[in-house]
Each structure stands twice: as C-alpha cells, then as structure tokens.
Amino acid sequence: RKEVEQDPGPFNVPEGATVAFNCTYSNSASQSFFWYRQDCRKEPKLLMSVYSSGNEDGRFTAQLNRASQYISLLIRDSKLSDSATYLCVVNEGSGYSTLTFGKGTMLLVSP
C-alpha cells in the first residue's frame, strides 16, 4: 500500500514563529505533490502545489526532495489564523488520477 507519512503533531507555536512540517512518501514514481489545509470539521482546501524547484507563496514555502522522498512546508511569521491541520498529498501517477492523503499535521498558533 502506498504510504504518505506525517507527524500528527500538534505543533504548538506562538504567533510570529516559524514552523516546518515534513512529509515522506513511499512511492518513488509519484508525480505531483500538494499541501492542503483543513480547518476543524471543514473540507480540505488546496494550500499550494509543490514543484521540483520549490515554490513560495507569501509566508509559505514548499520544497520537494525526490532523492529522499520527502516534502516540506515552511510557515514564517505564524498567524492565529494558520491554526489548522495540514495535509500532505501525493499523486501516484501521471494524468492526475487519484491522490493519496497523509493523515495530517495539526498546527496550533497561540497569542
């Protein structure tokens, strides 16, 4: 069974802190990678795609290490509103067929 592993947390950080999450995946043939955000009892929403060259969107930076089969998400200057569960998601093949979701990492940002 293809696996996507994440530390469940929770990560408790103060406002303004920098926090990083890692995710490992088992299938070396995986093609595309994403981070989703899920608020409590709500639907997941795409936070960002993860490109081979790494990508940044405001306070969020995602990186991919294919050799070690892990993906990272860095959040700088944490806000209270960043409190959520962050899901690492991997597409196993080409054509965006089906996705494998990690169980998520919970982030709690406190004042």
Partner 1 sequence: DADVTQTPRNRITKTGKRIMLECSQTKGHDRMYWYRQDPGLGLQLIYYSFDVKDINKGEISDGYSVSRQAQAKFSLSLESAIPNQTALYFCATSYQGEQFFGPGTRLTVL
Interface with partner 1 by CB under 8 A: which residues? 1, 8, 32, 34, 36, 41-46, 49, 87, 91, 96, 98-99, 101-104
Q: Closer to partner 1 at the Cβ: 99 or 108?
A: 99
Q: How many CA atoms does the CB half-sphere of 16 hold within 13 Å?
A: 1
Least distance in angstroms from the C-beta of 82 to partner 1: 20
Query: Can you give the C-alpha Rg of the chain in angstroms?
Result: 13
Least distance in angstroms from the C-beta of 43 to partner 1: 4
Least distance in angstroms from the C-beta of 4 to partner 1: 8
Q: How far is the C-alpha of 21 from the C-alpha of 86, rounded, in Å?
A: 9
Q: Closer to partner 1 at the Cβ: 38 or 76?
A: 38
Q: Closer to partner 1 at the Cβ: 33 or 78?
A: 33
86 close to 47: Cβ distance less than 8 angstroms: yes
Q: Closer to partner 1 at the Cβ: 68 or 98?
A: 98
